Amino acid sequence: MSNPILSASGLVKTFRSGDRRIEVLRGVDLEIAPGESISIRGESGSGKSTLLHLLAGLDVPDAGALAWEGVADTGAKRRAAFLGIVFQSFYLIPELDVLQNVLMARRILGAPGAADRARAADLLKRVGLAERMEHLPAQLSGGERQRVAVARALMNSPRLILADEPTGNLDEQTGAAVIELLLGLCRETGTTLVLVTHNAEHAAKCARRLLLHNGRFA
């Protein structure tokens, strides 16, 4: 694969539980091409979320190397512009309305202006929340909250979106709708997507499907 948008080589991550040393990742290699959609499945405790946190720069490996577009250490601000993250638990700020929650992604890069507010409003329209921009997260359903999280992840026009079990707190029908929305928006914008999921049907919608087993890709 030439010019990967993100590459990982020999990633190792261990945790301690009392006297036990738990090796969660045991030398994971991965290259992701621009515009690609990839799903990562695995049993509970297989290290899916741990791997995604490493790819996002939210944690560091015990061994191995990561590079975002060939750069090993991008810094938090560059990563904020380079990638967006969708979490299972939404992580919306309860005191802020929907529009301001989406704009929080832009605030990492600097104070948002009128053009940023217009983009946030447009993204909310595209995820079907045009009438909910002034609502607080507590006034939304679970599916609506996850749609806000998807809009927030796209706010900075990222090259890459990492989605960690984005349907884990949703019912089956709502979860399927969120996956279709996420995949559709990524295809529309040419954004690369890495989807961590336990759901085989959702995983099958991605162009490349990987299985994490015993700390490595099977």
Query: pLDDT (tens digit, 0 to 9) for every residue of the chain, 218 residues total?
Result: 458 999 999 999 999 888 888 899 999 999 999 999 999 998 888 899 999 999 998 899 999 999 988 888 767 778 878 899 999 889 999 999 999 999 999 988 888 899 999 999 999 999 999 999 999 999 999 999 999 999 999 999 999 999 999 998 889 999 999 999 999 999 999 999 999 998 999 999 999 999 999 889 98
Token code pair at residue 104: 């929080």
Structural domain harbouring 135:
36-60+75-217
Residues 9 and 28 sit within 8 Å (Cβ to Cβ):
no
pTM: 0.91
**Is 102 contained in some domain?**
yes
* E strand or H helix at 153: helix 142-154
Residues 85 and 153 sit within 8 Å (Cβ to Cβ):
yes
Residues 149 and 87 sit within 8 Å (Cβ to Cβ):
yes
**Is 24 contained in some domain?**
no
**Is 169 contained in some domain?**
yes
By three-state DSSP, how is residue 126 classified?
helix
**Is 46 contained in some domain?**
yes
Quote the pLDDT of residue 1. Answer: 47
What residues form DSSP beta bridges with 20?
17
**Is 191 contained in some domain?**
yes
**Which residue has tokens 């989605």?**
163
**Is 172 contained in some domain?**
yes
**Is 17 contained in some domain?**
no
Quote the pLDDT of residue 2. Answer: 58
**Is 3 contained in some domain?**
no
What are φ and ψ of residue 34, in 5° steps?
-60, 135
Quote the pLDDT of residue 109. Answer: 86
Q: How many domains does the chain have?
A: 1
Give the domain CATH number at 177: 3.40.50.300
* E strand or H helix at 38: strand 37-41
Quote the pLDDT of residue 214. Answer: 87
